[in-house]
Chains A and B, each alone.
Chain A
């Protein structure tokens, strides 16, 4: 394994991108929450302004870590995936270039003004700064998803005389139908993360018996947005995403469910362990017909099993893909349940007195991070063995002249640096949470 260059390139990119995405999902989710709070503050609700001020401080910390951990990803296209960059740069260079030009400049200009500039700007322009950060961070998300969508489902390209992929139709590439669906699903996932964080802080303060007014406001905001986003992430966005995979990545769909044999009334397994050598799922707990229904809208539809595809088209790391999907879908279902329950108690005016539910809300905040990461595991492991689906294999995209002595060195460097970065972030955020709301501008 030590000598396996592909393994180390994948591990390094997988680790750095998974760690990075902890932060943007929180900032993109909080950007929406902050925008809602600032909009209500503009109409004179001072409590919302206080809540916004607290979340802007968390946002600033998370944004800073997101910025610095995002830089390596841009570089790694060149450093670790040189042959991929040569092969596909003529297409994906567009969206990566646009992200810098249209999203990063916008975000970087207004970040300092949002975090430190409330007094300097006044309420109206401070709201506009929140709007700019929301627009910038959500735009940035789109460009990255559009880049990834090309790798999942390439459109708008042509193969040049030298074999590289080149742009043929800019608009077809930019508005890849895969990108639109994946974007909506992904952004709803980010809002779930943000809303759960807001609800968790509200629950924590309530349980502690401190800052009760702000705690109630955070609970209400978090639960309302959280319920809405938890529903939207499953339906229609998750459902549409699943149907796209069913249509365009059939081996992936089979692998996500540990399905080797084709047939109608395909079952969705709540749990079970894929046994790749035995070509079966051990200890399954099936719901018959549900997979057929999810994939094609009818219980009797035939869902192909992996046996129908040559082994070299099966997703590599099939087990990881299988668990990624089940963790994502399982947690997503629990989110709807928890937020639905909390919303019912909120509507009845009993949420603040129901301590068990407050404990659950408080302890739930890490799980959307896990669900979002698991979702990206499904997307990225599901794309394997392809780097650009159907066009370029992952093994052919590496920087082949970089040797494992270098990638192991840099991977260890990232492991150490990011461990410290993670500790510092937790330390600073927990300080903010225990300080509580910020009363003045």
Chain B
């Protein structure tokens, strides 16, 4: 049961990364690829109807984590206190920028929200990447099950650790580059004309950078947390993740070369899921490793809720999840095809 919940939460986190990932990428890029008002509105029309639902995957994943692993949520969220609030504030600004921008027809008003949208969208992947880095590197958990670390200390990976060090920042940069490249492919798929061409060009520059950074991060992880790779031989799901990761990367470059942005976009989705699945497969059952004492690490077994909670949650999860997928299917169907900039007062 604990293992099943570990993977359900992982699946939801992966869906969140892929779905909100393209929103972040589109937000980060739009100042550069969308130059006219009409192009900016095309970008917003592409993600406007989707971003809120995409963000719900974060809340749903958080809810599932709360349900199944309350100790992990309590320990992690309070331990990363300041970073969590930077995530929250960025999410607030991102949402408000999208929703408020088009209500006023004024160039200064819109220019302001465009910059807010871009900055918040760029900061979030860095923070989420740093979070992933912290989960791999570990935190000073003791027997109480709690910890508290500052935003940064000496930027080294040894104790006393901070949320940001060279390794977690590297992971942040990797995730920023990946999601920006992911967003470029999404926009290339949903748009045409000059915007489409600029997105393809951005993707062509960004994806080789992502490949190099991913290689660097793989090496860095081996240096920071060698134990992660010890599990690899006995973790079949990690191999699946690795295959998705490499296959996805291959699909991205094939799609880019063949002028098939949707194929490339799906490839980048597989790439993101692959990284997360490989990570989850290698760290299982540890969810938050301790840098002080391996026995103090939070695992799927010692952080989980009682059996009745896990069973009851399973009951409704398997009803709710397919319904959510149906909603998304419907939403993508309604908004299928290339987007057009909506007229004033008629959309994002």
What residues make up the interface of A, taking CB atoms closer than 8 Å to B?
60-61, 64-65, 67-69, 71-72, 74-75, 77-80, 82-86, 88-94, 96-102, 104-106, 108-109, 111-113, 116-117, 119-120, 158, 160, 164, 166-168, 170, 399-403, 406, 409-410, 413, 417, 421, 424, 428, 431, 438
Most buried by B among A100, A403, A438: A100
Closest to B83 in A: A79
CA distance A409 to B56 in the complex (A): 27
The answer to whether the Cβ of B219 comes within 8 Å of any Cβ in the partner chain is no
Q: A116 with B66: in contact, given A94-B312, A406-B82 (CB under 8 Å)?
A: no
> CA–CA, A409 to B151, complex, Å?
13
Give the CA-CA distance A401 to B144 in the complex, in Å: 11
Instruction: Decide: A67 near B52, CB < 8 A? Known: A83-B74, A89-B74, A109-B327.
Output: yes
Sorting the interface of chain B by its residue count into under 10, 10 to 19, 20 to 34 or 35 or more gives 35 or more
Q: Do A72 and B88 form a contact, CB below 8 Å, given A82-B78, A402-B78?
A: yes
> Shortest distance in angstroms between B98's beta carbon and chain A's nearest beta carbon?
8
- Say whether B82 contacts A116, CB under 8 Å: no
Within B310-336, the residues touching A (CB, 8 Å) are 312-313, 315-317, 320-321, 323-324, 327-328, 330-331, 334
List 18 A-B pairs, Cβ < 8 Å.
Answer: A74-B63, A77-B74, A78-B74, A89-B70, A93-B68, A93-B309, A97-B317, A105-B56, A112-B52, A117-B334, A119-B346, A166-B306, A167-B306, A399-B74, A402-B78, A402-B81, A402-B148, A428-B104
- In the complex, whether B194 has a CB less than 8 A from a CB of chain A is no
A-B pairs, 5 with minimum CB distance? A89-B70, A78-B77, A93-B67, A101-B320, A166-B306
Asked if B99 is at the interface (CB within 8 A of a chain A CB), the reply is yes
Q: A90-B309, A164-B306, A166-B305 are in contact. List 16 more A-B contacts (CB 8 A).
A: A61-B103, A67-B95, A78-B76, A79-B84, A96-B67, A100-B59, A100-B62, A100-B63, A100-B64, A104-B59, A108-B56, A116-B347, A167-B308, A399-B74, A399-B146, A403-B148
Which residues of A are found within 8 Å of B308, using beta-carbon distances? 166-168, 170
* B215 sits at the interface (CB 8 A): no
The verdict on A100 contacting B60 (CB below 8 Å), with A116-B49, A170-B312, A401-B79 known, is yes
0 or 1 for each of B256-281: is its CB under 8 Å from A? (1 = yes): 00000000000000000000000000
Bound: A109/B347 CA distance, A: 15
Alpha-carbon distance A74/B309, docked complex (angstroms): 19
- Is A82 in contact with B75, judged by CB distance below 8 angstroms? yes
Q: A101 CA to B15 CA in the complex, in Å?
A: 14
Report if A64-B85 is in contact (Cβ < 8 Å); known contacts: A82-B146, A89-B73, A105-B323. Answer: no
A116 CB contacts on chain B under 8 angstroms: 48-49, 342, 346-348
Residues of A within 8 A of B79 (CB): 401
CB distance from A387 to the nearest CB of B (A): 13
B-side binding surface: helix, strand, loop or mixed? Answer: helix
Q: Is the Cβ of B309 less than 8 Å from the Cβ of A413?
A: no
Q: Chain B residue with minimal CB distance to A132?
A: B327
B214 at the interface (CB under 8 A from A): no
- Residues in chain A near residue B87, CB distance under 8 A: 75
> Cβ of B250: which chain A residues have Cβ within 8 Å of it?
none
Q: Is B89 an interface residue (CB 8 A)?
A: yes
Contact, CB under 8 Å: A101 / B63: yes
Pairwise interchain contact B78-A78, C-beta atoms closer than 8 A: yes
A85-B66 contact, Cβ under 8 Å, with A79-B84, A401-B147: yes
Whether A97 touches B306, Cβ cut-off 8 Å, given contacts A75-B77, A78-B77, A82-B77, is no
Residues of B bordering A, CB below 8 Å: 48-50, 52-53, 55-56, 59-60, 62-64, 66-68, 70-71, 73-79, 81-82, 84-85, 87-89, 91-92, 95-96, 99-100, 103-104, 145-148, 305-306, 308-309, 312-313, 315-317, 320-321, 323-324, 327-328, 330-331, 334, 342, 345-348
Contacts of A101 in B (CB 8 A): 60, 63, 316-317, 320-321, 323-324
Given contacts A89-B305, A428-B100, A431-B104, contact A97 B81 (CB under 8 A): no
Report the Cα distance A59→B64, complex, angstroms: 29
**A158 partner residues in chain B, CB cutoff 8 A:** 306
CB of A108 within 8 A of CB of B53, answer yes
Given A109-B330, A399-B78, A431-B104, are A86 and B68 also a contact pair (CB < 8 Å)?
A: no
Query: How far, in angstroms, from A388 to B63 measured CA to CA in the complex?
Result: 19
Q: Which of A88, A119, A406 contacts B81 (CB 8 A)?
A: A406
Chain B contacts of A78 at CB under 8 A? 66, 73-74, 76-78, 84
Task: Please tell me if the beta carbons of B77 and A417 are within 8 angstroms of each other in the complex.
Answer: no
Residues on B with C-beta less than 8 A from A406 are: 81-82
Complex Cα spacing A402 to B305, Å:
24
Cα–Cα distance between A96 and B67 once the two chains are bound (Å)? 8
- Do residues B73 and A112 form an inter-chain contact, with CB atoms below 8 A? no
> With A and B bound together, what is the CA distance between A111 and B56 in angstroms?
13
Q: How far is the CA of A251 from the CA of B31 in the complex (A)?
A: 58
Closest residue of chain A to B48 (Cβ to Cβ) is: A112
Q: How many angstroms between the C-alpha atoms of A60 and B309 in the bound complex?
A: 35
With A and B bound together, what is the CA distance between A24 and B73 in angstroms? Answer: 25
A413 to chain B, nearest CB (A): 7
Q: Is B81 a contact of A79 with CB atoms below 8 Å?
A: yes
**Chain B residues, Cβ within 8 Å of A96:** 63, 66-67
Q: Is the Cβ of A104 less than 8 Å from the Cβ of B60?
A: yes
- Residues of chain A with a CB closer than 8 A to B50's CB: 112
Known A-B contacts A101-B60, A108-B53, A116-B348; A60 and B81 likewise in contact (beta carbons under 8 Å): no
